[in-house]
């Protein structure tokens, strides 16, 4: 296993800790409680980000502990976790519970599948991504939606949206865009009347 693939695997294994949010939300019946918990987690995260910028010694200790799973640009900017936490707040607030959970799982599991399969088995390059990685992302997302008993057409549209956004995204911005884009598409297909509320 090459060094780059091994590092990506470690990064994606850490990425799986994000499952705590959709899995936790599944067991919490009150959306407000779920939002409060995620907002608190987000506040803790950004307080750590702030401290590593104003306290050089703390910043060095932070990098020493986490640099092995960080991309180079994350050393001086907000990490992918920050984008994920903010998108989790918006996803939970904007969408029905099932749609929110599925959308977050699209990111965590679908994006991880795209990265791991793309780097380890990908041979057909399309820009900076691979066809194999995108197919893995789509397959995982579609299966997640079907398991969640979402209508097959809606599941197909949501999985395609997540895969397309993952394909065109650069860096870790997909941590923000995948749940929101795929969630919006599925929510509109489940309840088309929402289009009227957006347009009014």
Per-residue tokens: 119: 């780097």
pLDDT attached to residue 162: 97
Per-residue tokens: 104: 């977050």
Query: How far apart are the C-alpha atoms of 180 and 183, rounded to whole Å?
Result: 5
Residue recorded with tokens 């599948």: 113
- For residues 10 and 68, the answer to whether their CB atoms sit within 8 Å is yes
Number of separate domains in the chain: 1
Is residue 198 assigned to a domain? no
Is residue 48 assigned to a domain? yes
Phi/psi at 130 (nearest 5 deg)?
Answer: -125, 150
Q: What is the pLDDT of residues 152-163, one digit of tens each?
A: 999 999 999 999
pLDDT attached to residue 2: 52
* 50 strand-pairing partners: none
pLDDT attached to residue 69: 67
Is residue 199 assigned to a domain? no
pLDDT attached to residue 119: 80
Per-residue tokens: 171: 């860096």
Is residue 57 assigned to a domain? yes
pLDDT attached to residue 192: 83
- Element (H or E) spanning 86, and its range? helix 80-94
Beta strands in the chain (DSSP E): 125-126, 129-130
Per-residue tokens: 147: 């398991």
Is residue 69 assigned to a domain? yes
Give the domain range for residue 158: 3-193
Query: How far apart are the C-alpha atoms of 86 and 49, rounded to whole Å?
Result: 14
pLDDT mean by block of 10 residues, the chain; 200 residues: 56 77 95 97 93 86 76 75 94 96 96 86 80 94 97 97 90 87 96 64
pLDDT attached to residue 9: 62
Is residue 200 assigned to a domain? no
Is residue 126 assigned to a domain? yes
Is residue 153 assigned to a domain? yes
Q: What is the pLDDT of residues 15-57, one digit of tens each?
A: 788 899 999 999 999 999 999 999 999 999 999 989 988 888 8
């Amino acid at each position: 296993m090459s060094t780059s693939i091994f590092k990506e695997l470690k990064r994606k294994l850490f990425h799986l800790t994000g499952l705590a949010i959709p899995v936790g939300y599944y067991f919490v019946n009150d959306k407000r409680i779920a939002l409060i918990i995620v907002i608190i987690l987000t506040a803790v995260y950004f307080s750590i980000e702030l401290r590593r910028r104003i306290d050089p010694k703390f910043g060095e200790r932070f990098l020493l502990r986490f640099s092995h799973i960080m991309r180079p640009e994350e050393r001086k900017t907000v990490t992918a976790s920050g984008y994920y936490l903010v998108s989790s707040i918006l996803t939970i607030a904007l969408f029905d519970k099932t749609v929110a959970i599925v959308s977050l799982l699209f990111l965590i599991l679908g994006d991880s599948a795209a990265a791991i399969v793309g780097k380890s088995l990908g041979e057909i390059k399309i820009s900076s991504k691979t066809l194999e990685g995108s197919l893995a992302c789509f397959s995982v997302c579609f299966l997640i939606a079907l398991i969640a008993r979402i209508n097959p057409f809606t599941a197909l549209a949501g999985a395609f949206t997540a895969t397309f956004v993952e394909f065109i995204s650069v860096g870790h911005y997909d941590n923000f865009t995948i749940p929101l884009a795929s969630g919006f598409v599925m929510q509109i297909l489940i309840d088309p009347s929402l289009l009227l509320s957006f347009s009014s």
